[in-house]
Amino acid sequence: MSGRLLIAPSILSADFANLGREIAAVEHGGADLIHVDVMDGHFVPNITIGVPVVRALKRVATKPLDVHLMIEEPDRYIEDFVAAGAHMVSVHVEAVPHLHRTITHIRKLGARAGAVLNPATPALMLEDIAGDLDFVLVMSVNPGFGGQAFIPHSLEKLRRVRSVLDGAGSSALIEIDGGIDQSNVADVVAAGANILVAGQAIFGSSDPEAATRVLRASANQLVGG
Active site residues: 37, 177
- Min separation Cβ 70 and ligand DX5, Å: 6
Q: How many CB atoms lie within 10 A of CB 58?
A: 17
160 binds Zn ion (CB under 5 A): no
Which residues contribute to the site for ligand DX5 (CB under 6 A)?
Answer: 10, 12-13, 35, 37, 68, 141, 143-144, 146-148, 177-180, 197-201
d(CA 158, CA 138): 7
Give the residue closest to Zn ion by C-beta. Answer: 68
Nearer to ligand DX5, 85 or 146 (CB): 146
Q: Please tell me the count of residues contacting Zn ion according to CB under 5 A.
A: 3
- Which of ligand DX5, Zn ion, none does 192 bind, CB closer than 5 to 8 A by kind? none
Q: Considering only residues 66, 177, 181, 209, which one is a binding residue for Zn ion as defined by CB under 5 A?
A: 177
* Among 120-128, 158-166, 174-182, 186-194, the segment contacting Zn ion (CB under 5 A): 174-182
Nearer to Zn ion, 120 or 127 (CB): 120
Nearer to ligand DX5, 171 or 183 (CB): 183
Nearest in space to 161 (alpha carbons), one of 132, 195, 122: 122
Query: What's the one-letter identity of residue 107?
Result: R
DSSP conformation letters of 66-127 = EEEEE-SSGGGTHHHHHHHTEEEEEEEGGG-S-HHHHHHHHHHTTSEEEEEE-TTS-GGGGT
d(CA 43, CA 72): 5
Give the residue closest to ligand DX5 by C-beta. Answer: 199
Nearest in space to 121 (alpha carbons), one of 93, 149, 100, 146: 93
68 binds Zn ion (CB under 5 A): yes
3 state SS of 157:
helix
- Min separation Cβ 112 and ligand DX5, Å: 17
Nearer to ligand DX5, 104 or 118 (CB): 118
* Among 17-25, 63-71, 179-187, 206-214, the segment contacting Zn ion (CB under 5 A): 63-71
d(CA 65, CA 58): 7
